[in-house]
């Protein structure tokens, strides 16, 4: 199955900030963890907008969706303060294994993710756990007649997720914790279901998309809302499973 090529897009821009759509597979900024990746969103948007941009928050490489940048250190600081607190709304769409509960709160502290070798040498029991809270609401379910796991059929849910804290890989780790791992996640997911989506739908990406961001303008205080529906193969999977109205 062929899919349209996903490219970054500016969703909103004024003299103080820029909101954009980040495709899956792009890094927000250069990183030693993935030094060979040349799809760098920050550089792409700087060239497109013709101005310097300040990173405010991040989306992991395999996650797509809405992201915002400041055009000055003052604007960036104002945006970051909101995103680090409970004054902004950060909502995601995710596809997980099984029929997850209709709604709930996952309040489960998480240790920091160890990206570098020197961090991994420390036993997990020694790493301090940080408060982590995730809200979720199930939008749709589907049962497919394929024996992906040990059952004759396979069940999946489309979920709207809202972050109350911003820990690394929080959504993926929290959904693994409640035994409803996200599809397409090699680290916290289940390989049999990941392979099924790759082979059956031609979609091997992480099924996680930042679809809505609401915050106050850092200068004027006006409430801003940025929304971007899932694109590419994740959008096609949502459509094929009959969830288009839910998303």
Q: Which tokens in the block code for residue 35? A: 């030094």
What residues contact residue 59 under an 8 Å CB cut-off, 6+ apart?
Answer: 22, 28, 65, 67, 210
E-assigned strand segments in 128-233: 133-144, 154-163, 208-216, 223-227
> Alpha-carbon distance 185 to 240, whole Å?
20
Residue 213 has φ and ψ, to the nearest 5°, of: -135, 125
Q: Which tokens in the block code for residue 242? A: 């009959």
Conformational region of residue 36, where left means phi above 0, alpha means psi within -120 to 50, and beta covers everything else: alpha
> Alpha-carbon distance 117 to 131, whole Å?
24
* Beta bridge partner(s), residue 157: 96, 141
* Residues catalogued as catalytic: 60
Whether the Cβ atoms of residue 10 and residue 31 lie closer than 8 Å to each other? no
> Alpha-carbon distance 164 to 87, whole Å?
9
């Amino acid at each position: 199955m062929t899919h349209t090529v996903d490219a970054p897009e500016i969703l909103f821009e004024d003299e103080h900030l820029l909101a954009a759509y980040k495709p899956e597979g792009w890094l927000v900024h250069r990183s030693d963890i993935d030094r060979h990746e040349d799809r760098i969103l920050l550089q792409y948007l700087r060239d497109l907008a013709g101005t310097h941009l300040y990173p405010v928050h991040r989306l992991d490489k395999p996650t797509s969706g809405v992201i915002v940048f400041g055009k000055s250190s003052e604007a960036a600081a104002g945006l970051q303060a909101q995103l680090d607190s409970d004054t902004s709304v950060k909502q995601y769409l995710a596809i997980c294994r099984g029929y997850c509960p209709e709604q709930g709160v996952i309040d489960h502290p998480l240790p920091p993710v160890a990206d570098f070798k020197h961090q991994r040498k420390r036993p997990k029991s020694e790493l301090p756990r940080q408060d982590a809270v995730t809200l979720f609401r199930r939008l749709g379910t589907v049962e497919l007649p394929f024996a992906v796991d040990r059952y004759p059929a396979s069940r999946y849910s489309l979920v709207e997720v809202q972050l109350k804290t911003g820990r690394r890989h929080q959504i993926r780790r929290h959904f693994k914790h409640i035994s409803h791992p996200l599809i397409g996640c090699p680290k916290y997911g289940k390989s049999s279901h990941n392979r099924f989506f790759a082979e059956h739908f031609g979609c091997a990406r992480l099924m996680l998309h930042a679809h809505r961001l609401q915050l106050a303008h850092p200068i004027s205080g006006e409430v801003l809302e940025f929304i971007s529906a899932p694109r590419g193969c994740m959008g096609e999977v949502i459509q094929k499973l009959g969830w288009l109205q839910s998303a």
